[in-house]
């Protein structure tokens, strides 16, 4: 097993380049199934969720070849619509995109139940509702979700009961080759939803309205391969922005879309950081005190839930009281207990957490309770006095590429250390 060992107290200073968006990549990789040809996907992040998606494609018969550190050629011409195994699906949430993609191309799909971060109940009723309205019967047998249609995906007008990124993307995937037009209302507007639609349109699909409340998809059977570059990761960028603000550093964050960062930039500026925007970069620094801010998470363009724990760490050090309201996931304050070990003063009551700023965080042994909570613990450790050890870091590797290398280049003292766990005692190996 591995853990991070971090000596805190050094400001992050320098430049960092952001990778491709995880939540776009894990949807665009299954979407290559619909192309039924050769796709070259660039700006792929080097993270374990991407590796799992590629393994699923390969198991289904796609041929896959790395062209560079970030570019991959994927040929789905001879891909077979076989069941997607439990072993791989359990490793990430986004394995559910194979449902929409296989259904869209072949008219049926069988995919094991998805895994991913434990953020409380994670229903997929809206995905299944969309598939049903497009003519797919669904059943769950032996841990597999099975979808089948009589003559492929049919036209439909779907109104989602709740705004869901996954259900919106899954419905787009299923509808791209439909026999007719599919209209989706009350959809998610996240940049990665738009990116998936842009990728499919580059493959010859006819998808309009992504990024607004209504998406219209005119199904076509004539999709083909294409070359496509994934958008930069908004949350990885936000993570380094918080790191710069928290440690009182100064970081130029390259390969970003500043427009996608606006909800994060706004809160950071209110918290006393300075943010300068360029065409495809932002610079973040802080010289004064951290100011308290209130935050309520919401679907895009609201404040992203995936940044909630990271802003939480920053607000632990604010000069006053901040309130964070989590309105997307029911269990996204599990990191609070870890921060309390480091001296944070936080009270959680259901969906609301009250952060009383403290002058200092101190090192402690902590865990990454999920992906973003893990990144938040890294940031807390960078700002804390002493040496913090973070376990369960496989969550972090699911979504952050080269995090040790990137932070080291910014002046952080962070090491990845192997250890063996025996009878509750950790031995550094």
Alpha carbon dihedral 335, 123, 94, 194, in 10-degree steps, equals -100
- Residue 303, phi-psi category: left (phi > 0), alpha (psi -120 to 50), beta (remainder): beta
Q: What's the DSSP call for residue 84?
A: B
> Which of 74, 136, 147, 165 forms a contact with ligand EPZ (CB under 6 A)?
165
The reply to whether 189 sits near ligand EPZ by the rule CB under 6 A is no
Tokens 């710069």 identify what position? 244
Q: Which residues contact 169 (CB under 8 A, 6 or more apart)?
A: 27, 97, 100, 188, 192, 193, 196
The reply to whether 43 sits near ligand EPZ by the rule CB under 6 A is no
> Which of 367, 372, 395, 406 forms a contact with ligand EPZ (CB under 6 A)?
372
Task: Please report how close the Cβ of residue 370 comes to ligand EPZ at its closest, in angstroms.
Answer: 7
The reply to whether 127 sits near ligand EPZ by the rule CB under 6 A is yes
Q: What is the C-alpha separation between 4 and 74, in angstroms, rounded?
A: 34
Find the part of the chain contacting ligand EPZ (CB under 6 A) among 58-66, 165-173, 196-204, 265-273: 165-173
CB-nearer residue toward ligand EPZ: 124 or 284:
124
Alpha carbon dihedral 45, 51, 52, 56, in 10-degree steps, equals 110
The reply to whether 213 sits near ligand EPZ by the rule CB under 6 A is no
The count of other CB atoms within 10 Å of the CB of residue 422 is: 8
Q: What's the DSSP call for residue 232?
A: B
CB-nearer residue toward ligand EPZ: 161 or 227:
161
CB-nearer residue toward ligand EPZ: 193 or 318:
193
Find the part of the chain contacting ligand EPZ (CB under 6 A) among 123-131, 266-274, 314-322, 386-394: 123-131
Find the part of the chain contacting ligand EPZ (CB under 6 A) among 30-38, 164-172, 315-323, 402-410: 164-172
Q: What is the C-alpha separation between 408 and 397, in angstroms, rounded?
A: 16
> Which of 34, 328, 379, 381 forms a contact with ligand EPZ (CB under 6 A)?
328
**CA 403 from centroid of its chain's CA atoms:** 15
Catalytic residue check, 316: no
> Which of 34, 74, 124, 153 forms a contact with ligand EPZ (CB under 6 A)?
124
The reply to whether 19 sits near ligand EPZ by the rule CB under 6 A is no
The answer to whether 8 and 382 have CB atoms below 8 angstroms apart is yes
- Could you please report the per-residue DSSP string of 296-360? EB-STTSB-GGGHHHHHHHHHTSSSEEEEE--S-TT--THHHHHHHTT-EEEEETTEEEEE--S-
- Residue 423, phi-psi category: left (phi > 0), alpha (psi -120 to 50), beta (remainder): left
> Which of 43, 95, 164, 239 forms a contact with ligand EPZ (CB under 6 A)?
164
Q: What residues are paired with 297 via a beta bridge? A: 303
Catalytic position from the list 117, 177, 203, 316: 117
The reply to whether 368 sits near ligand EPZ by the rule CB under 6 A is no
The reply to whether 303 sits near ligand EPZ by the rule CB under 6 A is no
Task: Please report how close the Cβ of residue 158 comes to ligand EPZ at its closest, in angstroms.
Answer: 12
Residues from 383 through 412 that contact ligand EPZ (CB under 6 A): 399
Task: Please report how close the Cβ of residue 257 comes to ligand EPZ at its closest, in angstroms.
Answer: 17
CB-nearer residue toward ligand EPZ: 298 or 348:
298
> Which of 126, 149, 239, 247 forms a contact with ligand EPZ (CB under 6 A)?
126
- Count of positions on this chain that bind ligand EPZ (CB under 6 A): 25
The reply to whether 93 sits near ligand EPZ by the rule CB under 6 A is yes
Instruction: Provide the residue count of the chain.
Output: 429
Query: Nearest to ligand EPZ by Cβ — which residue?
Result: 166
- Could you please report the per-residue DSSP string of 321-333? EEEEE--S-TT--
The reply to whether 329 sits near ligand EPZ by the rule CB under 6 A is yes
Q: What residues are paired with 158 via a beta bridge? A: 184
Q: For binding to ligand EPZ (CB under 6 A), which residues are involved? A: 22-23, 26, 93-94, 117, 122-127, 162, 164-167, 188, 305-306, 328-329, 371-372, 399
Catalytic residue ranges: 117
């Amino acid at each position: 097993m591995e853990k991070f060992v971090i000596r805190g107290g050094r400001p992050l200073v320098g430049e960092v380049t952001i990778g491709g968006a995880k939540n776009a990549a894990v949807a665009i990789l299954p979407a290559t199934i619909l192309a039924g040809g050769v796709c070259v996907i660039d700006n792929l992040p080097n993270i374990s969720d991407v590796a799992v998606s590629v393994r699923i494609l390969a198991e289904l018969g796609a041929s896959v070849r790395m062209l560079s550190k970030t570019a991959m050629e994927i040929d789905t011409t001879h891909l077979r619509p076989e069941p997607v195994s439990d072993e791989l699906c359990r490793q990430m949430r986004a394995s559910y995109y194979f449902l929409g993609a296989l259904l869209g191309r072949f008219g049926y799909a069988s995919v094991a139940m998805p895994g991913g971060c434990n953020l409380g109940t994670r229903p997929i009723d809206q995905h299944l509702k969309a598939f049903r309205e497009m003519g797919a019967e669904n059943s769950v047998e032996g841990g597999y979700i099975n979808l089948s249609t009589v003559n492929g995906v049919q036209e439909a007008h779907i109104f989602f009961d709740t705004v869901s990124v996954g259900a919106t993307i899954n419905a787009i995937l299923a509808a791209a080759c439909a026999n007719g037009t599919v209209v989706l209302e009350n959809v998610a507007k996240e940049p990665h939803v738009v990116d998936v639609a842009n990728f499919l349109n580059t493959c010859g699909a006819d998808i309009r309205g992504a990024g607004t409340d209504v998406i219209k998809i005119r199904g076509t059977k004539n999709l083909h391969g294409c070359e496509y570059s994934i958008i930069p990761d908004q949350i990885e960028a936000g993570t380094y922005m918080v790191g710069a603000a928290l440690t009182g550093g100064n970081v130029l964050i390259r390969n970003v879309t500043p427009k996608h960062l606006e909800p994060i930039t706004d809160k950071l500026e209110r918290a006393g950081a300075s943010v300068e925007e360029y065409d495809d970069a932002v610079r973040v620094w802080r010289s004064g005190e951290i100011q308290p801010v209130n935050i309520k998470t919401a679907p895009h363009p609201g404040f992203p839930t995936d940044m909630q724990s990271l802003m939480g760490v920053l607000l632990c050090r604010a000069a006053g009281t901040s309130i964070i309201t989590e309105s997307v996931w029911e269990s996204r304050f599990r990191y609070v207990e870890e921060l309390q070990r480091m001296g944070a003063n936080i009270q959680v009551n259901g969906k609301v957490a009250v952060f009383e700023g403290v002058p200092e965080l101190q090192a402690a042994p902590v865990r990454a309770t999920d992906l973003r909570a893990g990144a938040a613990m890294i940031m807390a450790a960078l700002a804390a006095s002493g040496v913090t050890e973070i376990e369960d870091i496989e969550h972090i590797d699911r979504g952050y590429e080269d995090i040790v290398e990137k932070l080291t280049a910014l002046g952080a003292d962070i090491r990845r250390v192997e250890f063996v766990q025996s009878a509750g005692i950790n031995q550094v190996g």
